[in-house]
Chain A
Amino acid sequence: MSPPVPARTIALSLSVLVGCGSPDNRGEADDELIIAWPASREPASLDGHIEPYQTAWLIDYMIADPLLIIGPDGEFHPALATAWSSNEVADEWTFVLRSGVVFQDGTPFDAAAVRYNVERILDPATRSGEMAAHVGPVERVEVVDDTTVTLHYAAPWVTVLDAFRRVPIWSPAAAEQWGIEEFDRHLVGAGPFLLEEWVPNDHVTVRRWDGYGGWNSIAREAGPARVERVTIRFIGEEAVLGNVVRTGNAHIAMNLPTAYIDDYRDAEGFSLLTGYQAGTGLQMVMNVRRPPFSDLRVRRALLYGTDQQAINDLLYDGHFLVSDGPLNTVHRCYREGSADTYPHEPETARRLLEEAGYTDRDGDGIREAYGVPGVDDGTPLRVRWTILDREEMGEAIQAQWRPLGIDVAIEIVPGPVQLEMVNARDFDLIYERQRSPDPMLMDMLWNSAHDVVGGWAWTGFVDEELDGMVSRLREIPDQEMRCELAREAQRIIMENALMLPTLSEPIFYAVSDEVLGFELASEGQFYFVHNVELPRTH
């Protein structure tokens, strides 16, 4: 006879474990807001002076108010500065600071503190990449009085407001005490929450600061935040991220994977928020240095031959935004006419390819080059689609271009390989995405002066008019004039078909109805928790 099965033991063990389970999966403090982030969004450092990623600044927003913010309406609003102005040429910027503000360590916030923060960012020892580039070539920071500070620039710097809405203002005393290497675990600012702990690869927790005076325009009350704690959990697995709100393990999931949208849309007890990110969208840059894209007709043929709306509907149920130019449709400098430049006209695409010398003579459905400069006769028209992920998008393009006689080879490569390919200028169509509500990114991406290793102008197109136009984006402070320049630059780029606009990926948030007061900023990756309440827990 077989020995008795240890079934009773197993059942007993399970019942003990069940008994230990909590009905509330969050199982944390009562008044704790839990936000799940994809692990890939975890910054390397929480110090926004150093870390080049938005997510660090998003965490910093809870701990340190900046001088100003971009509100949900897309406009600049006061935070620690109450007013700002520049001289006519935009090389002197003055901020009037809020009085009576102290940092979380009790030290005063004043003009000297702002000077310290600017100098810290620009100090080579800080090794700040992105933030130092945003702050720009400050020659001198003048403390006019306790509540007035003037930045003197070496050259006109028109993006100061966009820069300083990102800069967390840290307590100089705390930053000095901990030094560059240690400070990101001991952040001290003048924001609504105190940094409690950061366990890398696991979570960040902040605790309400009772000394907060509601100094940020977004705060509805002149006092502390309402929620006791906020914890951001970094989730490594997409399937888990997609379910954590539904199963009660988190209140909010940021960057909800597209596959899980339907689980939350119109679902009782949840809402689905959608944030959009101004910038380029998921654009595919064309390498115009060599065939086939050295020929404008081929480049235009691709644009005429692509139906992005169909791809959006097929792959993403229409949830993404269709882009039709170098700046996506939610960018304030978007050019309206871009949508009409290349309507979906497969016949026009075929005609252009024929004119460019690409014909299918062997009848295999793929065109071959005949009489194309620099290409052996009979060479099939094959283009490489190089991207980091979203293979499905490449496959949809493959399906749309195949009837045109174009063979698409999809290359899914990791980031390092992509950069190596760019450095070697070894690509046909390659993914490039930048995010910013400021049109300055047009200069970085399309000015041929930045067509160097480490630069971001990859296409190889050189045009004096375009270069001059985007360069001026660095000099003109007037926002409307800058947008006009950017729109004109977009026209040139589209006329020359230098890139294939695809889609803009929104940022989806699954939010439990237990959460009140959660607000998205005008940029999808940013949100505010200043006014969040969890009424269920009271």
Chain B
Amino acid sequence: MLAHYLARRLTQLGVVLLLVSVAVFSIMHALPGDPVQLMLSGAESGSVTPERQEELREEMGLNDPLPVQYGRFLSGAATGDLGTSVRLRQPVLDLILDRLGSTLALSLGGILFAVVIGVTTGVLAALRQGSWIDGFSRLLAYAGVSMPLFWLGLLLILMFSFWLPWFPPAGSEGWRSLVLPSLSLGLVSAGVIARLTRASLREVLVEDYIRAAWAKGLPKRIVYLRHALRNALLPVLTMLGLQFGAMLAGAVVTETVFSRPGLGRLVVSAILWKDYPLVQGIVLFMAAMYVVVNLLVDLLAAWLDPRIRDGAPA
């Protein structure tokens, strides 16, 4: 049953990636601007002749018809070759892999903060409904949803780098440089997770099997942690998969604010420079990563809850 489920999801993955490749290729080529001219537009004295620009365009294969360029991109991608960056002149896959570690560390750090802060606050809020911690979890959710990520990042830098010089405001060396960017990413998701945990736990706590657990005289810790929280966290797990996508998107902003190298900054500069192969490669890679993470989360949920893999309503 699980194998069938997996096969269906993998087929969907292929279709999603194909559609993403078409979309990103079309959008990039519909946008105004010529990569060669852009590459030279900020050059210091405008010395490069139009003839030389044309030669560079030809050498980079930018004069080929669009279907040819798309075919080249797709066939390359199918064999793991995402092409060569127009501006950086390096294989796109190498550039992605170079920066993947930094972005993954940031995203996982963000997830860690989101889970620790979100689940802890959510549980406390559920157990103490109407208390100040419940109010705090609501405030956290509102703040997380409404506060722009760059602003949150700047506030954290102001407080914990400039006023209290505990963490570096920029860079990627050592674990200390990871704390503030991860915290800013995590805080955005923590509020959502806190509210979801609270709601889910409240629902579970009135289920019959919890009453049965109380009736058996089980200690509080066992009832809350083993029976209630374990079941309450299933929707949170699904939410985490979705939040991973938000983390990747948030990395674009966070990496810029905290001057960290990563896929986010790489894709921003690639878009600005109209570096077709690099944008296409990164978007495709990130889409694949997002889909795969969600697939893993679904599989985990299916493994934890037989009702999901059997197609029954959870």
**B150 nearest CB neighbor, chain A only:** A237
**A19 nearest CB neighbor, chain B only:** B166
Q: Which of A21, A132, A414 contacts B272 (CB 8 A)?
A: A414
**B86 nearest CB neighbor, chain A only:** A44
Q: Cβ of B46 and Cβ of A444 under 8 Å apart?
A: yes
> Which residues does chain B contribute within 8 Å of A420, judged by CB atoms?
32-33
Whether A247 touches B169, Cβ cut-off 8 Å, given contacts A39-B265, A44-B87, A44-B88, is: yes
Bound Cα distance from A134 to B46, whole angstroms: 10
A232 to chain B, nearest CB (A): 12
> Which residues does chain B contribute within 8 Å of A45, judged by CB atoms?
88-89
Stretch at the interface among B240-248, B251-259, B287-295: B251-259
Q: Cβ of B50 and Cβ of A124 under 8 Å apart?
A: no
Q: Cβ of B165 and Cβ of A247 under 8 Å apart?
A: yes
Interface residues in A412-469 by Cβ distance below 8 A to B read 414-420, 423, 434-436, 438, 440-441, 444-445, 450, 452-456
Whether A444 touches B169, Cβ cut-off 8 Å, given contacts A39-B256, A239-B154, is: no
Whether A244 touches B170, Cβ cut-off 8 Å, given contacts A5-B133, A127-B56, A416-B38, is: yes
Stretch at the interface among A79-87, A195-203, A310-318: A195-203
Q: Which of B47, B257, B272 contacts A444 (CB 8 A)?
A: B47
Bound Cα distance from A247 to B161, whole angstroms: 8
> Which residues does chain B contribute within 8 Å of A11, judged by CB atoms?
none
**A42 nearest CB neighbor, chain B only:** B269
Q: Which of B41, B257, B260 contacts A419 (CB 8 A)?
A: B41
Q: Cβ of A3 and Cβ of B43 under 8 Å apart?
A: no
Stretch at the interface among B14-22, B123-131, B209-217: B123-131
Q: Cβ of A53 and Cβ of B43 under 8 Å apart?
A: yes
Bound Cα distance from A96 to B16, whole angstroms: 63
Q: Cβ of B98 and Cβ of A20 under 8 Å apart?
A: no
B73 to chain A, nearest CB (A): 20
> Which residues does chain B contribute within 8 Å of A423, judged by CB atoms?
34, 37
Which of B42, B99, B256 neighbours the largest number of chain A CB atoms within 10 Å of its CB?
B42
Q: Cβ of B50 and Cβ of A455 under 8 Å apart?
A: yes
Bound Cα distance from A53 to B38, whole angstroms: 12
Interface residues in B169-185 by Cβ distance below 8 A to A read 169-172, 176, 179
Bound Cα distance from A144 to B262, whole angstroms: 49
Q: Cβ of B31 and Cβ of A416 under 8 Å apart?
A: yes
Q: Cβ of A181 and Cβ of B50 under 8 Å apart?
A: no
> Which residues does chain A contribute within 8 Å of B52, judged by CB atoms?
129, 132-133
**A277 nearest CB neighbor, chain B only:** B44
Bound Cα distance from A129 to B46, whole angstroms: 10
Bound Cα distance from A130 to B55, whole angstroms: 13
Whether A415 touches B38, Cβ cut-off 8 Å, given contacts A39-B256, A236-B257, is: yes
Bound Cα distance from A240 to B256, whole angstroms: 11
**A180 nearest CB neighbor, chain B only:** B89
Q: Cβ of B50 and Cβ of A134 under 8 Å apart?
A: no
Interface residues in A168-187 by Cβ distance below 8 A to B read 180-181
B5 close to chain A: CB less than 8 A: no
> Which residues does chain A contribute within 8 Å of B56, judged by CB atoms?
127, 129
Q: Cβ of B168 and Cβ of A27 under 8 Å apart?
A: yes
Q: Cβ of A237 and Cβ of B256 under 8 Å apart?
A: yes
> Which residues does chain B contribute within 8 Å of A199, judged by CB atoms?
172, 261
Q: Cβ of B166 and Cβ of A435 under 8 Å apart?
A: no
Which of B45, B132, B261 neighbours the largest number of chain A CB atoms within 10 Å of its CB?
B45
B210 to chain A, nearest CB (A): 18
A54 close to chain B: CB less than 8 A: yes
> Which residues does chain A contribute within 8 Å of B87, judged by CB atoms?
44
> Which residues does chain A contribute within 8 Å of B89, judged by CB atoms?
44-45, 50, 127, 180-181
Bound Cα distance from A499 to B171, whole angstroms: 42
> Which residues does chain A contribute within 8 Å of B167, judged by CB atoms?
17, 21
Q: Cβ of A236 and Cβ of B255 under 8 Å apart?
A: yes
Bound Cα distance from A436 to B47, whole angstroms: 10
A25 close to chain B: CB less than 8 A: yes
B218 close to chain A: CB less than 8 A: no
Bound Cα distance from A50 to B86, whole angstroms: 12
Q: Cβ of A52 and Cβ of B259 under 8 Å apart?
A: no
Q: Which of A2, A180, A454 contacts B37 (CB 8 A)?
A: A454
Q: Cβ of A417 and Cβ of B32 under 8 Å apart?
A: yes
Interface residues in A207-260 by Cβ distance below 8 A to B read 233-237, 239-240, 243-244, 247-249
Bound Cα distance from A451 to B163, whole angstroms: 53
Whether A243 touches B162, Cβ cut-off 8 Å, given contacts A200-B261, A415-B272, A416-B33, is: yes
A6 close to chain B: CB less than 8 A: yes
Q: Cβ of A441 and Cβ of B157 under 8 Å apart?
A: no
Q: Which of A17, A124, A434 contacts B55 (CB 8 A)?
A: A124
B39 close to chain A: CB less than 8 A: yes
Q: Cβ of B170 and Cβ of A434 under 8 Å apart?
A: no
**A134 nearest CB neighbor, chain B only:** B47
Bound Cα distance from A247 to B169, whole angstroms: 10
Interface residues in A1-38 by Cβ distance below 8 A to B read 2-3, 5-6, 17-18, 20-21, 23, 25, 27, 36
Q: Cβ of B258 and Cβ of A236 under 8 Å apart?
A: yes
> Which residues does chain A contribute within 8 Å of B202, judged by CB atoms?
none
Bound Cα distance from A247 to B157, whole angstroms: 11
Q: Cβ of B128 and Cβ of A236 under 8 Å apart?
A: no
Q: Cβ of B259 and Cβ of A127 under 8 Å apart?
A: no
> Which residues does chain B contribute within 8 Å of A201, judged by CB atoms?
99, 255, 259-262, 265-266, 269
**A199 nearest CB neighbor, chain B only:** B261
B146 close to chain A: CB less than 8 A: no
> Which residues does chain A contribute within 8 Å of B39, judged by CB atoms?
44, 52, 129
Bound Cα distance from A45 to B166, whole angstroms: 33
Q: Which of A54, A236, A441, A454 contacts B170 (CB 8 A)?
A: A236
Which of A2, A201, A419, A438 neighbours the largest number of chain B CB atoms within 10 Å of its CB?
A201
Q: With A129-B56, A423-B37 given, can you name 20 additional A-B contacts, CB distance below 8 Å?
A: A3-B133, A21-B167, A25-B168, A44-B88, A129-B39, A130-B44, A133-B47, A199-B261, A202-B171, A235-B259, A236-B170, A236-B258, A236-B265, A249-B168, A416-B38, A419-B41, A434-B45, A435-B44, A440-B45, A454-B37
Chain A residues within 8 Å of B, Cβ to Cβ: 2-3, 5-6, 17-18, 20-21, 23, 25, 27, 36, 39, 44-45, 50, 52-54, 124, 127, 129-130, 132-134, 180-181, 199-203, 233-237, 239-240, 243-244, 247-249, 279, 414-420, 423, 434-436, 438, 440-441, 444-445, 450, 452-456
- A-B contacts, 22 of them at CB < 8 A, read A2-B131, A17-B167, A21-B176, A23-B165, A39-B256, A39-B265, A52-B39, A52-B43, A124-B55, A127-B89, A129-B39, A130-B40, A201-B99, A202-B260, A233-B170, A415-B41, A416-B34, A416-B38, A419-B32, A434-B45, A438-B45, A440-B47
Nearest 3 CB-CB pairings of A with B: A416-B33, A454-B50, A201-B261
